[in-house]
Structure 1
Amino acid sequence: MKTVLSTILAAGLLSTSGVAQTVKRSDYPIQAVPFTKVTLTDNFWQPRLKTNTTVTIPASFQRCEATNRVKNFEMAAAKSGKFATVFPFDDTDIYKTLEGAAYSLSLYPDKELAAYLDVLIDKVGKAQEPDGYLYTARTIDPAHPHPWAGPERWVNEREMSHELYNSGHLYEAAVAHYQATGKKSLLNIALKNADLVCSVFGSGKRSVAPGHEIVEMGLVKLYRVTGKPEYLSTAKFFLDARGQYKGYDPKSPDPFKNGSYWQDHKPVVAQAEAVGHAVRAEYLYSAMADVAALTGDKQLLTAVDSIWNNMASKKIYVTGGTGAVPGGERFGRNYELPNATAYNETCASVANIYWNQRMFQLHGHAKYADLIEKVLYNGLLSGVGLDGKSFFYSNAMQIKNSASFAQTEPARAGWFECSCCPTNLARLFPSLPGYVYGQNGRDIYVNLFVSGSANLAVQNKPVRLTQANNYPWNGDLKFTVDQASTSDFNLLVRIPGWARDEAIPSDLYRFAQPSSAKVVIKVNGKPVAYQLKNGYAVLTRKWKKNDVVDMSLPMETRTVVAHPNVQDNVGKVALQRGPVIYCAEWKDNDGKATNIIVPTGTAFTAAFKPDVLNGITELTATVPVVKVDGASNTISTVKQTLTAIPYYAWANRGKGEMTVWFPQQVTDVDLVTRQAVEATHAK
């Protein structure tokens, strides 16, 4: 079934009647190798994907049941009751978990889970109104809809209702379920809703810039499956609707009053800066890339390129987190990247991966895969605890003392009143196999270093490519070509930016000291010279069965410094080894973390600790730390062992101090009274 589906989705299109039809069209130059073609055996990721399947997804479904999210659909089907949760977008937690479960079924077939999905999808279908409308916050009791919904359909979509947002997540779940299982049960529900949306919105019909983007991405996915042009044209219509609303005050600095919170302050083709609510923004930018690829719209492409450059050079944390400002969960000003109040919503990391994957498919440059890797191993992975059922909504960069507990999340929670992040993680993790490889004809791209195998075809000849490594702890990578006959193709293996002395593809962060270490590549045991193109080592040859490529990446511990305009990090360094950003946590450092100094020239020792935090490479160094002697009312520095752990692993051992950035010398001391700390914490 998977082979048939992948062929249909890649080479043709499936009509709503189920008849395959071949359509020539513009598209991404590079296509992602589908998740159904990639099998993982990775020591780092496979256990996490298994935990997602056995813990995260079941816990998410259980919490959707316990919090009445499922009951909302049952009441909508009965047209009786009262909406039983808080937000009108709570329907999407069902859709996102369905999407994750569908991907998971591809990785780990499970008859019991498949049967549960069938029952749940049936409930979703029964909640759908005859014309395709699906929004439990109104359907349960149309005379008394959710306060955010507005008295009639769509009238409050610009700011509050999330009707189209719900639809977008439905579409994404439906396509994933169809691809993974071949069943059309959820897909048919989505198509019926999409047909309604297309009949309501468009030129000469109702117009709105969706308040929370994702319907645009979802419509594109439905277009890819069905080939129905209305889905693509409506997605583009929603993009073009931005910047047209006359009710905003363009002179106001308030993002809610000038429209920038919703990315509605300018037409999309005139936008050049990442602004507003970060999750909404990155879903929008993903859709802009989709529509630019499928329509050849050069203005749209120029805009999304400009926005990406702004984000990558001025608005991303060293961990890959985005959306610095808690008020509005939004991007701040250029270089506004505070540590103590960093927001970095987990959903924004999910959206950033979607966006960068599309940018890679547009341009074939390794810098986009570099950011995918940075987010995956740091800002995204920190969002879920090692137990698979505790989550961060926001991801702090520093926890200084109990006073900062009131500003940031010092510990993960099992669920949230607005629980978008846990369910977004549930769908992202099992889709990981689809981010490992890309292909453009005879060019095969290796973007992520994840052990496992992929089944591809080059000029109609089968190619099986196998990876074996212990990444991210070890830089020795092995790729084996396994195929039936000799084949001539280009293998493009990403040389990570961090292995090319580039901390990030901009001047926002740089390594404090250059490295002389080189990347070494061997083919069948012999070193080879290679062309470096757009960050990829291009290996061109007539590949034979059991040809082996070995690549050695220098796994050094590096210190990272920020652009001087990032005020919070002046005179400070962060620690990086391979793709992993490190932090110091109270548990390993005598109860504190924010008193540690890392002077220039500090030497670190890296050691793998299999029994610590499910197995990590730990960094240690002897450094000065600030000590306060309350009895004598004195402050001094003493030598102490600094122990640093991967940032993603913090907050799995209780609450306490944590920091990512370390001062290189003492320049000032903050004097805070105990009473002030307790008063702040009490608030």
Structure 2
Amino acid sequence: MRQTILSFAIVLMLFSCSEKSSTNDYPISPVPFTRVELDDDFWTKRIKTNHDVTIPIAIQKSEQTGRIDNFAIAGGLKEGTFCSPFPFDDSDVFKIIEGAAYSLQMFPDTEMESTVDSLINLIGKAQEEDGYLFTNRTIMGDSGHAWIGTKRWEKVDDLSHELYNLGHFYEAAVAYFQATGKQKILDIAVKSANLVDREFGYGKIENYPGHQEIEIGLVKLYRITGDKKYLDLAKFFLDIRGRGIGEKKSYNQSHVPVVDQTEAVGHSVRAAYMWTGMADVAALTGDQSYINAITKIWEDVVCRKLYITGGIGAQGGHEGFGSPYELPNKKAYCETCAAIANVFWNHRMFLMTGDAKYIDVLERSLYNNVLSGVSLSGDHFFYPNPLRSDGEHQRSEWFGCACCPSNISRFIPSMPNYIYAQKGNDLYVNLFVSGSTAFETSRGSVTLTQESNMPWNGHILFTLNPEKRTKANLLIRIPGWASEHPVPGDLYEYSDNYSISPVFKINGKEVSPEKRSGYAVLSKKWGPGDKVDVTFPFKVRKILANEKVEADRGKMALQLGPLVYCTEWADYQDANIFNLILPENAEFSYGFQPGKLGGINVVSGDASILKIGEGPDKGELFPQQFTAIPYYAWAHRGPGKMMVWIPVR
């Protein structure tokens, strides 16, 4: 899959600054997906399916549900009332535009581009003269949805979502401008942001958004325009939390100032968007208090509140975090949007520190919770992603609150952005996906080609071709699934003693590389055709949870490579799989089955099943062949029982 680099594109899609911007920034820069070419079987087909199926369906559903008509009505092109259920529905259209912008850079598509241009025209018509952009109020006046209040910004700290919508619009505007060079959407965004800047700030409206997101969008707008007032406004919206005029609630992380927060509380999507925005602002301003806060919060999440699938958010009532070690499986929320936000946040933490532990968490969320959120066919979606099901869960075509499908549509095409990164002559390989990229070093370009069959085996071959012989450090992440700890901290541990180490070879000769923050560092003066051969230990790992996690006591989870596995009813004659028991010393094998669920490694082993008798005996154990599939692939064969954590007693 060839990804086009357009002459007008900003060199770093998400993190570059214009000449007017601050000299501060992340010390490490991602290699943008526009400079990454993929040719694997796993991610390439998902990105193509997103282009061919998911984005068109999201547009179609937005038409059918009135989300697009809202802009036409607000712009005076149609008559009617606000058509869709929620005042935040504008944001779904904005996320779809952002996803299309990323996808168009990989798959030029005049029809899709024309459709997006027509959406942008509608958005421009819907924008009020002074820059205000919020279709519910424009259509309904001050008697619109109960959440929006009786005047502009009145309930901005609660449920109006006026600023949340704009954050997604600013992200879409920057992405589409960078993808096409078309100025119109960026002009609409700047006009809107200038209004927000006039209205909010110290001595103006001293309030914060009830749903964080505008902070991320304002930072991107700052990067593309170089206008520092947008960065200052993003920082204001963060600093005023816990200090402003709005009601202070842990639900939206406004209970105390952001720099004083140390624990993950409240709504998980709001929280992870906020931490992402804090990381961006900290990188650009050098504010150490932000870094201290999000580091402590990260430790709380990873050590006490992270699901083995990389999901965050244990409780459905407020779609968010529970108490420490509260990680129920059947009631797990693990919203798809929260997993995507978790990827955003952990990527920023890596760019700030160069520590592989953040990519370990990113990879866990990416391959498990994020991918579970969309069907293999790209046209059905999960909102929550539980770790146990009685058969009541099936992916849906759409939702009344459709934040997850539209989020998937924008995230999947940007996935190659997370594979590589660079700091000077330090060249980082974070994820293992076949394809190639080019690093720009002090000695010229270095093309790196990666041959990998991840996530199905642990062998990777790199070939380097520099323009000139170049001294550089190739930093290859040693993933948690191939080492001693599944995640940082003691929330989860491997039950098996596994002493096999990764093997590294340069041009056929085994080497013992230096280790740095979770990376193997291979340093030399690289020449054309140099090869690095890496073999990661690749076997089924047995995982136990901390005893403080009540839901997982006496149970085992399985992981092979980056994929967490589950067992599902469809692989058993007796569909009551909740009576399965794995011996603690169980041995497992795996094999690739190309015709099953799009092609997967299937894990198998010996287990027992408890069959309940009618007499005085409580039951009897019988031998049972055990089968497990990747968690992301569950719920594709009809409704039925599924579990990630399997009893061992």
TM-score, with length taken from structure 1: 0.92
Q: Which amino acid aligns with 2:94?
A: Y
Q: Which secondary structure state, in structure 1, belongs to the residue aligned with residue 370 of structure 2?
A: helix
Task: Note if contact 2:419-2:430 (Cα within 8 Å) is conserved in structure 1.
Answer: yes
Determine the structure 1 residue equivalent to 2:26: 28
The reply on whether 1:274 has 2:264 as its aligned counterpart is yes
Kept in 2, the 8 Å contact 1:39–1:107? The answer is no
Other-structure match for 2:548: 565
Q: Distance in 1 between matches of 2:606 and 2:518?
A: 35
Matching residue's letter, 1:54: D
Work out the CA distance in 1 between the residues paired with 2:246 and 2:340. Answer: 31
Q: What corresponds to 2:131 in structure 1? A: 132
Q: Secondary structure at the match of 2:140?
A: coil
Does the alignment pair 1:5 with 2:20? no
The yes-or-no answer on 1:542 pairing with 2:525 is: yes
> What is the 5 A alignment of 1:58-207?
58-78=56-76, 80-207=79-206
Task: Name 1:664's counterpart in structure 2.
Answer: 648
| Distance in 2 separating the partners of 1:11 and 1:606 | 40
Confirm or deny that 1:37 pairs with 2:35. yes
Q: Deviations over 1:302-321 (max 9, x none)?
A: 00100011001000100001
Aligned to 1:501: 484
CA RMSD across the alignment:
1.6
Per-residue CA deviations over 1:392-413 (Å, capped at 9, x if unaligned) read: 10001111x36xx3xxxx1110
CA distance in structure 2 between the partners assigned to 1:223 and 1:571 by the alignment: 51
Which amino acid in structure 1 is aligned with residue 98 of structure 2?
A: E
| Letter of the 1:233 counterpart | D
Counterparts of residues 440-589 of structure 1 (less than 5 Å): 440-459=423-442, 461-589=444-572
Structure 1 residues 625 and 9, CA, compared in 2 at 3 Å: closer, same or farther? closer
Partners of 1:662 and 1:583 in 2: how far apart?
8
What whole-Å deviation, never above 9, does each CA across 1:100-159 have from its counterpart, x for those lacking one? 111111111111111111111111111111111110001113243222111111011111
Q: Aligned partner of 2:583: which letter?
A: P
Q: Does 1:310 align with 2:300?
A: yes
Q: CA–CA distance in 2 between the matches of 1:123 and 1:439? A: 40
CA 1:630–1:390 in structure 2 vs 1: closer, same or farther (change >3 Å)?
A: farther
Amino-acid identity (%) = 48
Matches of 2:108 and 2:488, distance apart in 1: 39
Matched residues in 2 for 1:661 and 1:8: separation?
A: 41
The residue number in structure 1 matching 2:630 is 646
Tell me how far 1:23 sits from its aligned partner: 4.3
Q: Distance in 2 between matches of 1:553 and 1:186?
A: 46
Unaligned runs of 5+ in 1: 15-20, 249-257, 666-683
Cα-to-partner distance string for 1:440-466 (whole Å, 9 max, x where unaligned): 111111111111111220016111111
Quote the residue 1:674 is aligned against.
none
- What is the alpha-carbon distance in structure 2 between the residues aligned to residue 273 and residue 11 of structure 1? 27
Q: What residue in structure 2 maps to residue 655 of structure 1?
A: 639
Whether the 8 Å contact between 1:78 and 1:140 is mirrored in structure 2 is no
| Preserved contact between residue 479 and residue 548 of structure 1 (Cα < 8 Å) | yes
Residue 283 of structure 1 and its aligned partner are, at CA, apart by 0.1
Give the C-alpha shift of residue 9 in structure 1.
6.5
Tell me, yes or no, if the aligned pair for 1:389 and 1:414 is still in contact at 8 Å. Answer: yes
CA–CA separation in structure 2 for the residues paired with 1:422 and 1:10: 22
Does the CA contact (< 8 Å) of 1:647 and 1:660 recur in 2? yes
- Asked if the contact 2:482/2:536 (under 8 Å) is kept, the reply is yes
- Matched residues in 2 for 1:9 and 1:83: separation? 35
5+ long unaligned stretches in structure 2 = none
Counterparts of 1:266 and 1:143, CA distance in 2? 31
What SS does the corresponding residue of 1:490 show, helix, strand or coil? Answer: strand
**Quick one: distance in 1 between partners of 2:164 and 2:638?**
36
8 Å Cα contact 2:468/2:527 also seen in 1: yes
Conserved? CA contact 1:453–1:467, under 8 Å: yes
- Once residues 573 and 9 of structure 1 are traced to their aligned partners in structure 2, the CA distance between those partners, rounded to angstroms, is 41
> Residue type of the partner of 2:307?
Y
Aligned residue identity for 2:282: A
3-state SS of 1:169 partner: helix
Q: 1:482 to 1:566 in 2, by over 3 A?
A: same
SS at match of 2:590: strand
Report the TM-score, using the length of structure 2 for normalisation.
0.97
Q: How do residues 618-637 of structure 1 correspond to structure 2 at under 5 angstroms?
A: 618-629=602-613, 635-637=619-621
Q: Note the C-alpha offset of 1:81.
A: 2.3
**What is aligned with 2:214?**
215
Structure 1 residue aligned with 2:586, among 602, 607, 618? 602
Show CA shifts across 1:539-579 (max 9, x none). 11111111111100111111100011000111111001111
